[in-house]
Structure formats: C-alpha cells, structure tokens
Structure 1
Amino acid sequence: MLEGSREYMRADAKKNYDNLLSIAWDVFAEQGANASLREVARRAGVGMGTLYRHFPNREALLEPILRERFDRLTQKADNLKSASASEDALVLWVQEVIAFTHDYQGIISVMMGAIEDMDSALHSSCHALRAAGTQLLTRAQSEGKACADLDGDELFDLIAALAWLRDQPSHTARSEHLFSVIANAILINAQEVKN
C-alpha cells in the first residue's frame, strides 16, 4: 500500500471519529444516555460497523463526550476550593453536577454503574468527579461548616438521588425544594453541633 493511501485512511478514520462524536453529543443531548446508537450512525452517515470500529459499546462512545464535562466539573471544584467559602463551594458544586446530569437524561444511572465498575470506560472520570466532591466536603467539614457524619460516597449518592428526582417530570418542581432541604441539613447540622 502506498504511504499516501495510509495517510488518507488515517485522515478519513479521524474524520469519521470526530463526526461520530459530534453527532453523538447532539443525539445524547436530545434523547438521553440511552439514545439509539443506530440513530447516531445514521445521522453521521456511516454504517454500524464504522461506529463499532471506533466505539465498541455505548460507554466507549459516552466516555470522550462525558470526560470533557467531568473534567470541567473537577476543575470547577478545584477553583471553588480557593475562591469561595467552603460551604458555598460545596453547595454550588453539587448544584452544577445535578444540572449537568439533567442535560443528559439517564446519565446518572450510567455514572453510578461506572463508579463501581473498574472496567468501565467511564470509571476513571467518574472516580475523579467523586473525589473532587469529597475534597469540597472534607474542606467544609474541617472548618465545621458541614456535618461530620457524611462521606464522599454518600454525597455522590445524594447527588444521584436529586438528579434522578429532577429527571422525573412529575417531581421536577419539588426537586429544587428538596435540594435546599438537603443542603441545609448538611450545613445546618454542622452549625448546631458547633453551638
């Protein structure tokens, strides 16, 4: 095979990869994490074989899309550690993670599964995201601003529960109120113990 042909094939494969990611971003945003992979391939103008050559399963396709958002949320936690009061940083970050999960309906169950599955393509990014939240929680606890009997895993579970609730049309209106109740319980309990 000629060198130029190989370069063309690499360029063509890269173009397909980038196009699939771009289309998948739109399809997942429209239809949620369980969107049809066939629809992604159709809109990208490629066959299922091409899609599976680049992304052997749904998580492999979700990973590069979500990693960028997870990395942004992890960076946001790092920025909040130095820019905000510990209790404000914790509450703001939790709100942002919940809002992110709302952008991709059904993503919270994918995230919760990935955090437990070390073989998941999303495990590393989800683990980093949970660790970022744990650091914000630990900082608030060390300053006496958050209750001491909550750990990072439980915080992630609370985020998942609130995110799930927000995804249910009949409960959306209550989700904001319940977020406030939970945030106040985490923060107020610490103040009560202090006094």
Structure 2
Amino acid sequence: MPTHQSRGAAPEPRRTDARLNRDRLVEAAHEEFAASGPGASLNRIAQRAGVGPGTLYRHFPNRQALIAAVLTDRIERLTAQADLLIGSEGPDEALARWLGALLAHARLHHGMGSALMIEGAHGAGTDCRQVVLDAAERVLARARTHGSARPDLDAGDLVQLVVGIALATAHGSGADQPDRLLALVLDAAAARPDTSPTRPGSRRKRV
C-alpha cells in the first residue's frame, strides 16, 4: 500500500518535466523569432522544442504570452550579464561590453517589443524597460565613480541612444555600422575635463 509520502512526492517529476518543456519552448521561440520575426509559426516552435502544439498552448495561451516570456528571459540574461561584467571587468570595459550586448539585444528583439505593444501587452514592455534601465544605471554608475564616464550622463539617455542605433540600422546598413555608431556613443560618454561640473570661480580668465 503506497504511503502518504509517496503519494505526495509523485507530482514532482511532472513539475520538473513541465519546467523543462517551458524552457525548451522559450529557447525554441527565441530561435524562431530571431529567424522569422514575431509572426513565426507556433507549430514550428513546438516542433523545434520537441513537444506538441497542445503543450505549447498549455504553457502559453497565445502568441503575446510567448513573446513576453522570450523577452523576459532575454532581458534577465542581459541584466545578469551586467552584474557579471561589473564583478569581472574594469569600469570602461564593463560599460562598453554591456552596451554592445544591449545593442545586439535591441537589434534582434525590437520587432518583438513592438508586437507586444501593438497587441496591448503594455505591462510586459514597461517592466522590461525599467529592468534594463536599472542595469544600465548600475554599469554606468561604476564608470562615473571611477571617473571614466561623464558625470552628467543619464542612463536613460544612454539606453535611448543605443536603441536608436538599433532602429536606425535595422534595414539597409553596413554590417559594421552599428558597431561604429556605438563607438561614437562610447566616445561621447567618456569623461573629459570640460564635462566636469563647473565650480564657482573655476572659470578661466580671458587673456
């Protein structure tokens, strides 16, 4: 006769399988959306994940839910990368590498974010934006403290510039143009003597 403990433990393998299926679906959706855009076939996503369409719809009742899950997953990875770089790289290198990762993310996923907003899932888009801004502020604040980034540089402005590069180079740009534009942004973000706050009486006298 099965014990009470064995009956209570039985659902755990099913929960583990469900988590694995969800993770496979999110990864497969990321790959399909990257290749075909937010309108990629859901049946192909299920096939790539090795599950049936019914399993996909049990986890994600509609396309918007799947897109939101993919964006959330990728943004979590992006913010985790920010913290990893803060702990392992110098301030300048961490800022440059993370902004490069943000640019790659924005170029790959800007269509998905637009699809979410069109479909009305405003909450997911807003939450993701704030998470990205918080990560940008952590990386930028370290560079400011080190004295290598402009003290008047705002994290929101910096993110907007990088996203602007992604949008501007989405179609018809040279392969190296996004990186060249990002290099210009990084150069503009670097601290210089004339970007430090002016103290009273510190202005040079005219000769």
Would you say same fold, with TM above 0.5?
A: yes
* 1:161 maps to 2:164: yes
1:26 to 20, 31, 37: 31
Which position in structure 2 is the counterpart of 1:66? 71
* 1:96 maps to 2:68: no
Which position in structure 1 is the counterpart of 2:204? none
Structure 2 alignment gaps of length 5 or more: 1-6, 198-207
Tell me: CA distance 1:137–1:146, structure 2 relative to 1, closer, same or farther (3 Å).
same
What does 1:163-182 align with in structure 2 at a 5 Å threshold?
163-182=166-185
Question: Normalising to structure 1: TM-score of the pair?
Answer: 0.70
Superposed displacement of residue 61, structure 1: 0.3
Which position in structure 2 is the counterpart of 1:135? 138
Which position in structure 2 is the counterpart of 1:55? 60
Q: Give the number of aligned pairs.
A: 183
Amino acid in the other structure paired with 1:179: L
Amino acid in the other structure paired with 1:71: E
1:119 to 118, 123, 126: 123
The structure with the greater share of residues assigned to helix is 1
| Alpha-carbon displacement from aligned partner over 1:7-63 (angstroms, at most 9, x marks no partner) | 7xx68x93875664354233112112343446546777755x765553234331023
Structure 2 SS opposite 1:119: helix
Amino acid in the other structure paired with 2:185: I
Q: From the CA coordinates, give the structure whose radius of gyration is larger.
A: 2
Do 1:21 and 1:65's aligned partners in 2 also have CA atoms closer than 8 Å?
Answer: yes
Moved more, 38-47 or 85-94: 38-47
Structure 1 alignment gaps of length 5 or more: none
Which position in structure 1 is the counterpart of 2:81? 76
Do 1:101 and 1:163's aligned partners in 2 also have CA atoms closer than 8 Å?
Answer: yes
Structure 2 SS opposite 1:167: coil
Superposed displacement of residue 194, structure 1: 4.4
Which position in structure 2 is the counterpart of 1:193? 195
Tell me: CA distance 1:23–1:80, structure 2 relative to 1, closer, same or farther (3 Å).
closer
Question: Normalising to structure 2: TM-score of the pair?
Answer: 0.67
Structure 1 SS opposite 2:190: helix
